[in-house]
Amino acid sequence: MRILTFMTSLCLVAACGGGGGNGNAAPPPPPPSGATTISDVQGNGPASPLEGTTVTVAGIVTGDFQENDNDDRRNLGGFYIQDGPPDGDVQTSDGVFVFDGTNPPTDISVGDVVEVTGTVAEYFGETQINASSVRVTGAGAVIPLPLQLPVSGATTNSDGDAIADLERYEGMLVEFPDTLTVTGHRNLARFGTVVLSEGGRLRQFTNGSAPDVAGYAAHKDMNARRSIVLDDGLRVQNPAEIHYLNAGAAADYSIRSGDTLDGLVGNLRYSRGSGGDGDETWRLMPTADPEFVSTNPRPGAPDIGGSVRVASFNVLNFFSTIDGGQNNCGPQQDQGCRGADSATEYARQLEKTVTALTMLDADIIGLIELENNASASLSALVDAMNAKIGANNYAWLDTGTIHDDVIKTGFVYRTSTISTVGDFALLDRSVDSRFNDARNRPALAQSFEVDATGAVLTVVVNHLKSKGSSCETDGDPNLNDGQGNCNMTRTSAAAAMADWLATDPTGSGDDDVLVIGDLNAYLKEDPLSAFASAGYTNLLDSQADPYSFSFDAQAGALDHAIASASLLPQVAETIEWHINADEPRLLDYNLENGRDPNLFDGSTPYRASDHDPVVIGLDLTN
């Protein structure tokens, strides 16, 4: 229900939906002579039927986003107004944005009744009035319309992505009565935005459901209907002040996915984001500063059972070579570098990565996304780890460069508790043609012995082909069943790996095998099924909604720990250490786009990478 005080007379109007109404109150005064209603401007479609026309409208100011006024936290170059009475059409909105530029001649405030003359325009899909005249005529108030998620329908934007169908509420003052959950913050630094969802955070479809074309389409539709983007109400990119980073009730609050928000109120806007960039979707421009609840607090150091601890950690392109735009990385020193772009960024990345690695307190660590050089990337990490703990306890497995990719996997182990057994082994296409090493990084296997007991364990660290680029030229298209690009490539690699491990490639003479790493496949996808068919058990299967990564505001497990049948009874506990996927990337080592360097804290592990480590506690008996 909306209650409006219109012009200088009081009028109560009950309304449902967009502009529809069913109130029995006395009608409000008629609009000024020659005026057009806001619902006429909005129309019942995505664009205004009056685009390009000069109109005069009257309404109550519901959101003050003018520039160069006394509120610099909300600057969109205009304000929102809402009118009455409702036109009885639930498909037409009663709110609209009025653009009056960077130096508006009339300073307005929420509650002002104004008369606006201007030209109707569409700005990145939002209907607005470019004002030539604004006149304050009285005072009034609008009670926000309750808007519950999920909404009844979804549509697609111009990019073909599913979004909630909220056109009938465009420009209106709304309130979300339900608790909303932070489910994404990828663009917090650039656009000041946070993705919120009803019913908890969004999850990847194949993290909990078997691949299916119809099911995946329904999943995307529901995600769209459950979601809204919370904008910072600014039209500048990379703002100096990040509104929502520390906007919490708890002391020392820092926003994380999984945190919650209640009583969100603001104006609905359709936009691509600050300056017309970013995703084209519905955004809520808050009329007051939201306050988040720390529902998903930061974890401390991992605390799990077991006498031997193994970890898998994707270290987000840790390169000892500075990326200055040159092509001098990779085994042939002819590929583009990644990672830190300056010595300062490198020092920051090294510090935070080492903080996380030492806090893992693991006996064996499988690393992913290392620079593929002979030893410099691994030795830099290990030297810094030993310096941090004040003892020469860690060593790296010397594999030299591996194959021809610019990145590789590697091992770090604690020499005071663990010894290597025999030589490492690599799985590539020369071993099994099903393992496409032009797409997947070769699997690296090494056997280790526990010094105290003599128990032997073989660990295999992996980095399979990502979902980010197509394998269609290999006859491996995206089937739109939720598994993304290159599913067959990863599945064939998993099947080849299981068969390879059955041959004891390291010559350990022991059946205890632990497969770890970034498999780029969610829990219910075919590569994990291939391991299950070979008698392996994914140690994440016993957890509720496991995840190690967030993509497109959806959480899912790409990093896994998979145990052979003989090893399974010796597993004490497995956890994902959620230090990265839930944290905004503006806290990492990068300094691009004028980022405030003081946001970085290398003494904490939070956002050391974009993947969460997986930690396995073992009580090895043989």
Domain boundaries, the chain: 4-143, 148-286, 308-618
* pLDDT for 34: 61
| pLDDT, tens only, 150-174 | 999 999 999 999 999 999 999 999 9
Helix-helix angle 526-533:487-501, to 10 degrees:
20
Burial label, 436 (beta-carbon count in 10 A; 0-12, 13-18, 19+)? buried
* pLDDT for 278: 85
* pLDDT for 131: 97
| pLDDT, tens only, 416-449 | 999 999 999 999 999 999 999 999 999 999 999 9
Task: Record the tokens describing residue 301, joined without a space.
Answer: 């150091």
* pLDDT for 33: 57
* pLDDT for 86: 59
CA distance to 151, 260, 261, 294, per residue, from 291 (Å):
24, 9, 7, 10
**Mean pLDDT of the region 220-238:** 96
**Mean pLDDT of the region 232-243:** 92
CA-CA distance, 448 to 157, in Å (whole number)?
53
- Do residues 20 and 11 lie in contact, with contact meaning Cβ atoms separated by under 8 Å? no
* pLDDT for 602: 98
CA distance to 212, 226, 231, 446, 620, per residue, from 179 (Å):
30, 12, 17, 48, 45
| pLDDT, tens only, 299-345 | 999 999 999 999 999 999 999 999 999 999 999 999 999 999 999 99
* pLDDT for 2: 33
Highest CATH level, class, for 4-143: mainly beta
**Mean pLDDT of the region 222-250:** 95
Q: What percent of the chain has pLDDT over 90?
A: 90
Residue with tokens 């945190």: 259
What residues are paired with 155 via a beta bridge?
163
CA distance to 40, 80, 168, 171, 529, per residue, from 267 (Å):
19, 7, 13, 6, 46
pLDDT band of 457, cuts 50, 70, 90:
very high
Amino acid (one-letter) located at 211: P
* pLDDT for 85: 58
| pLDDT, tens only, 60-81 | 999 999 999 988 899 999 999 9
Residue 372 φ then ψ, to 5°: -85, 75
| pLDDT, tens only, 588-617 | 999 999 999 999 999 999 999 999 999 999
Q: In this model, does residue 622 exceed pLDDT 60?
A: yes
Bond before 211 cis per omega within 30 degrees: no
- Do residues 578 and 299 lie in contact, with contact meaning Cβ atoms separated by under 8 Å? yes
* pLDDT for 32: 55
Q: What percent of the chain has pLDDT over 70?
A: 94
Q: In this model, does residue 209 exceed pLDDT 50?
A: yes
What integer best gives the mean pLDDT of the chain?
93
| pLDDT, tens only, 255-278 | 999 999 999 999 999 998 887 788
Q: In this model, does residue 292 exceed pLDDT 80?
A: yes
Q: Which is it for strands 537-538 and 559-563: parallel, antiparallel or unpaired?
A: antiparallel
Amino acid (one-letter) located at 36: T
CA distance to 41, 181, 276, 534, 577, per residue, from 46 (Å):
11, 28, 17, 53, 44
CA-CA distance, 137 to 241, in Å (whole number)?
35
* pLDDT for 6: 36
Q: Which CATH number fits domain 308-618: 3.40.630.10, 3.50.30.30, 3.40.50.300, 3.60.10.10?
A: 3.60.10.10
pLDDT band of 90, cuts 50, 70, 90:
confident
